[in-house]
Chain A
Amino acid sequence: MFSSFMMNAWITATIVAVIAGVVGFFVVLRGTAFPAHAIPNGAFAGAAAANVLGVSSLLGLGVCALLAALGIGALGRRGRKDVATALALVMMLALGAVFVSLSGEYEPEIYSLLFGEILGVSTSEILPVVLLGLACIAAVVFLYRPLMLSSIVPDIAEAKGVRNHRMEMAFLVVVAGATTMTLPVVGALLIFSLMIGPPAAARSITDRPLLAMVLSVLIALGTVWIAIAASYEWNWPIGFFVGVLGALSYGLGRGWAALRRTRRAVHAVHAEAAQALAG
């Protein structure tokens, strides 16, 4: 499991989990689950196009993820946001299908782009992933305060001079960056699971933003590591484990939150009863 051909997978997956945990925290906070789902699917078209044109797939991914992010941001400004996102998403997917059909490599190609292929990571791909990952983290650190403000209290942010629409665009670009690096590993459809399951779980455990972000990274790391190990052990696709574990961690987070609420309620009732008795 830790032999040399698996090392690349472990390293990239670890970086992917850290980025997904951090960026995903804001995805959940801002309620931009749908765009976060749409951008990776748009990037799928890029990877397929790069294959036809014979350029690096990372380049294709990056360009198309960026186009998808800007397109969704621009279209969403003039019409209903969810409609614009849905239509941009299927348009990019359909383009991807055409490129794949042009390249003549059907099944395995589509499959690994959508659902990921951990063994497909080569050593030369690690450096770009690290660089892009650092860029994403740097962008989040740089935007942290205004992004946080515009996510939680958009009105106050606007009053303080934060342009909410620009912030939205900037954030979608960060999501695009995160997508570009994560797609080859977990696939277009499942980056989304990683960006939403762990942060959602973390958010239901704690309300403190920094703590939630750290937790979200930890849960994402756990999810990816277990997924790789399980996928290696049973030879099932990694996407399956990422998807199911993502949902599972959210379920556990919700359960934990519910448990705490009931406990708090019980405490409150006890306290009231004690007061009533004393009075």
Chain B
Amino acid sequence: MTDLHWIFEPGFFSSQPVHVAVTIGGVAAVVCAIVGVFTVMRGQSFAGHALADVSTAGGSGALLVGLTPLTGFIGGGVIGAAAMDMIGIRRVRGRDLATGIVLGASTGFAALFLYLDTTSAAVTGATQQILFGSIFTVDPSTIPIVAIFSATALVIIAVIYRPLLLSSMSDDVAAARGVPLRLVGLLFMLALALAVGLSALAIGAILSTALLIGPAAAALRLTKRVGSALALACILGVGSTWLGILLAYDSYYWGSSHRGLPVSFFIVGLTFALYLASGLPVVRAHAERRAKQSGEAP
């Protein structure tokens, strides 16, 4: 154990904030990875990111009225998802624009709420907490709520799995087979809102896109099978989250200043590095060779 001292700085395993962070981070990473794979396949990264900005407004608004940020993240996300569905983000034409307009309006509200948060004496550190997250300060009593939201998101995906997969590959084929596209799309946006909210709790609202898109996009570059992409995305997501937490914890002992670097930075950096690595020619060629060997269409 003493040799591991260089990897795990003292107190890592006995600290309660670390336990909470590891639990919440892990759960959020799994939900994000699974929802993220479909988000990337459907080309809805922008929608995912816009929902993150809507949850920023939700989270800062929740602080203002004395609710927990998580309630606001999820509430804001669900309202945002409904609004985007209403102005028609399902049509590819004009979809970016509709998403952008919702995004723009919601950042306006975020600006107002955060301003009011920072001017009211009751809330301190709101901007930092909402935007960039602070997983080490999450209250342990949030864990059951996180579990409920995560279970809901995963159940939604499980229930609509087949029609969702079909409509993610081709809307036309899905429509011809009688898939209710609008309903599936709406349910998926709901799951997306939940995933973004959980991610916002873990790494901050405006960074939450990283956990959603990064591991999923890397996994989809490495394998063409949806099942293995889902599993791989979960492993990559949980791996980078836990490693990020560890690095952030250790960073407190780096140098002499004794000021830890933000957890979110490490998690975002790791997922970005994973994405870049998955695009390297060597890695891709290897993945394609393996796909051919297993008799799968490349």
Interface residues of A (CB under 8 A from B): 28, 31, 33-34, 37, 41, 78-80, 82-83, 85-87, 89-91, 93-95, 97-98, 101, 106-108, 110-111, 114-116, 187, 189-190, 192-193, 196-197, 200, 236-237, 239-244, 246-247, 250
Contacts and interface: CB of A to CB of B under 8 A. Distances in A.
Given A192-B100, A196-B97, A241 B108 contact: yes
Interface size range of chain B in the complex: 35 or more
B46 interface: yes
B100 A196 contact: yes
B207 A79 contact: no
Contacts of A90: 206-207, 209-210, 214, 268, 272
Contacts of B110: 115, 189
A107 B265 contact: no
Contacts of B262: 94, 97-98, 101
B111 A243 contact: yes
Contact of A192 (B43, B97, B103): B103
Interface in B53-108: 53, 96-97, 99-108
SS of B interface (majority):
helix
Interface stretch (B127-135, B136-144, B154-162, B227-235): B127-135
**7 nearest A-B pairs in the assembled complex, by CB-CB distance:** A243-B108, A239-B111, A193-B104, A247-B105, A94-B268, A240-B112, A33-B100
Q: Which of A189, A190, A196, A239 has the most C-beta atoms of chain B within 10 angstroms of its own C-beta? A: A189
Contact of A107 (B48, B125, B221): B125
Nearest to A254: B87
A237 B209 CA distance: 26
Interface in B38-52: 40, 43-46, 48-49
B127 A246 contact: no
B44 to A, nearest CB: 8
A107 B269 contact: no
Q: Which of A107, A116, A239, A243 has the most C-beta atoms of chain B within 10 angstroms of its own C-beta? A: A243
B111 A187 contact: yes
A203 to B, nearest CB: 9
B209 A95 contact: no
